Structure 1
């Protein structure tokens, strides 16, 4: 029997909504919200040839990586560090990085070209190259914390990429008359009115989610 697996979160369709062939094209994964076209029949080969992944030898050495970050990038970096310290119950460090994040966010210039296609391209590079490189380095360093964070981040990146694809198709209808929540620990994005008891990615309780208010 053929089963259908979500390529974003790994959910296996259980037939609850009827035969797979009869599901409408706008049917979405009940776990992460991925669309029907993002499922694969189990055992199917990938549609595209696997792209060559850079090894550590090919990667740019750490000391040569540019540190000329924009204020917006510094805000995101400090926010991620704040969440990491919060997860480790280091409240003083978490608060310090949160204040730094808020400062950089306040002085950041508006994005000149907020293109969905650009975000999709950046996420594709992350998923096809950067995560593999980062996992290799973390494994060689024996850094279990980094490996755990990479697992979470890769799952969230796939979910965000799927949401961007859905938004390009559905527009504002995707978020119309529904709430949008974000897990403050791992970044998981949930569309819906009834939050799960725990985050499906990092397993923190749902009081760690923030409701995203419309501008």
Structure 2
């Protein structure tokens, strides 16, 4: 009998054999929900190519919403980091100033429990990313598509980590480290970050270790 193979939709790792309930990817740390049978992965890729044209579309004016000051601050902060990576210090400084300005206009952050965060992430995966991919494909924006591929994978990892946290609680973070890729945002829980980021392929020194807040 042929051994069944499963592929991780985050990093591409291929696992031979059945997946146990507590299985996690040895490369990116995603749980078993991120794995699909190899033949399904190939079929999904082929179907995606066929449906690209039919999925094109734009949002109607009444579907657009005004961004909050906090959202504008986050966007400008990300643009500042992007300019920094592109060795554009003046533009990076300008976006940082804009980020600080919008942050000063924002109210106190709304607290969200783990279930609320999980719902928001699921909304991004089920609605936000498909709409963004459709818009980027319509104008053939290869840079945006690459960025969306990375960010969708990172969001899937976050979804996986939240599911694990809901099951394990604080034990998930005991006696281990939390690392974030400074380029794509990939989050890894373990003693040390992977040698190569499984999402954007930068080396381990690009990871930042996240320290817990002091009491």
Question: Does the 8 A contact of 2:69 with 2:105 survive in 1?
Answer: no
Measured in 2, the distance between the counterparts of 1:197 and 1:94 equals 28
Q: Deviations over 1:152-181 (max 9, x none)?
A: 111101111111111111111111111111
1:10 is matched with 12
Q: Which has the higher helix share?
A: 2
Give how far 1:7 is off.
4.1
2:87 is matched with 89
Question: Does the 8 A contact of 2:57 with 2:135 survive in 1?
Answer: no
Give how far 1:79 is off.
2.2
Question: Does the 8 A contact of 1:74 with 1:104 survive in 2?
Answer: yes
Question: Does the 8 A contact of 2:27 with 2:194 survive in 1?
Answer: no
RMSD: 3.0
Paired residue for 1:32, among 22, 28, 32? 28
TM-score when scaled to structure 2?
0.78
Give how far 1:91 is off.
2.5
Paired residue for 1:136, among 134, 138, 150? 134
Number of residue-to-residue matches in the alignment: 201
Measured in 1, the distance between the counterparts of 2:55 and 2:99 equals 32
- Give structure 1 stretches of 5+ with no counterpart: 46-53
Identify the range of structure 1 (172-181 vs 110-119) with the bigger mean alpha-carbon deviation.
110-119
- Give structure 2 stretches of 5+ with no counterpart: 42-53
Give how far 1:87 is off.
3.1
Give how far 1:206 is off.
2.4
Q: Equivalences for 1:1-215 in 2 at 5 Å?
A: 1-14=3-16, 20=18, 23=20, 25-43=21-39, 55-57=55-57, 59-61=59-61, 65-71=64-70, 73-101=71-99, 104-105=102-103, 108-215=106-213
**Structure 1 residues 207 and 32, CA gap change in structure 2 (3 angstroms):** same
